[in-house]
Amino acid sequence: MLKIVVCVSGGGTNLQAVIDAIARGSITNARIEAVISNNPGAYALKRAEEHGIANVCISPKQFETRGLFNQAFLEKVSSYQPDLIVLAGFLVVIPEIMIREYQNRIINIHPSLIPSFCGTGYYGLKVHEGVLKRGVKVTGATVHFVDEGTDTGPIILQKPVLVEEGDTPELLQRRVMEQAEWSILPQAIDLIANGKVTVTEGRTVIDWKKA
Ligand code: GAR
């Protein structure tokens, strides 16, 4: 049974998608041990509470230095002994020491087709603003392993979504969630939980035969 810790900062609709997928059996061999947020007001914490999942807030604001936060954050996450850490709209930079300790065991959902509209400064609505400003016709979402860079780790799954005439950043954000994020994040977790994802030379190989 894959033990998962989910890190969140906001509404937690991706967290909800994972909770629902486990409940209906589309993710197998996995359970959420805890939900961790840097934001005490995150609605995601309520979602966890409602489903009887351990939930805790740990914020950089509670610590004098970033180093102290990083240490406490790593200790908190590790206290749940996770096999997989899922960043589901988590807006805190993951400490390098943690990336090394959990190599290829941290995944992130990003609301664009990486390598477009990603990297420093591209998060949440800013991604969709960038997409509309550039005028691309296709966007989407990506699930990837987290490495030392920003949105540079091995890609696990991607799904395209059409940009439509009259889209606002908010409308596009919602469509990318509905048509891509809420399906590929649970699917990636299910693939990992069932041993179907391997990483070789910075790229993933998915064993679809066994899927
Ligand atoms: C999601 O769109 C996720 O892809 C994005 O934040 C949103 C969180 O929504 N993540 C990033 O931009 C990371 N760079 P949620 O709290 O409703 O799941």
> What pLDDT does 211 receive?
59
pLDDT of residue 9: 97
Q: Is residue 25 part of a domain?
A: yes
Residue 200 DSSP SS3: strand
Give nearest CA residue, ligand 1 atom 8. 89
Atom 12 of ligand 1, nearest CA residue: 123
User: Which atom of ligand 1 lies nearest, measured to the CA of 88?
Assistant: 18
Q: Is residue 182 assigned to a domain?
A: yes
pLDDT of residue 210: 61
Quick check: is 151 in a domain? yes
Q: What is the pLDDT of residue 209?
A: 85
Nearest-CA residue for ligand 1 atom 7 is: 89
> What's the gap in Å between 209 CA and the centre of ligand 1?
30
Confirm whether 97 is domain-assigned: yes
- The residues that are catalytic are 110
Residue nearest to atom 11 of ligand 1 (CA): 123
CATH number, domain of 163, equals 3.40.50.170
In a domain, 12, yes or no: yes
In a domain, 63, yes or no: yes
- Check if the beta carbon of residue 109 is closer than 8 Å to that of residue 185: yes
> Could you read off the pLDDT of 148-158 as tens digits, one per residue?
999 999 999 99
pLDDT for 34 equals: 98
Q: Is residue 211 part of a domain?
A: no
Q: HSE (CB half, 13 Å, CA atoms) of 201?
A: 0
> Domain total for the chain?
1
Give the domain range for residue 61: 2-206
Please report the atom of ligand 1 found closest to the CA of residue 14: 18
- Nearest atom in ligand 1 to 16's CA: 18
Pairing of strands 30-37, 106-110: unpaired
Residue 122 CA to ligand 1 center (angstroms) comes to 11
In this structure, the residues whose C-beta lies within 6 A of any atom of ligand 1 are: 8, 10-14, 44, 88-89, 109-111, 123-124, 127, 177, 181
Residues of the chain with pLDDT under 50: none
CA of 97 to the centre of ligand 1 (A): 23
In a domain, 132, yes or no: yes
CA dihedral 104, 110, 113, 118 (to 10 degrees): -90
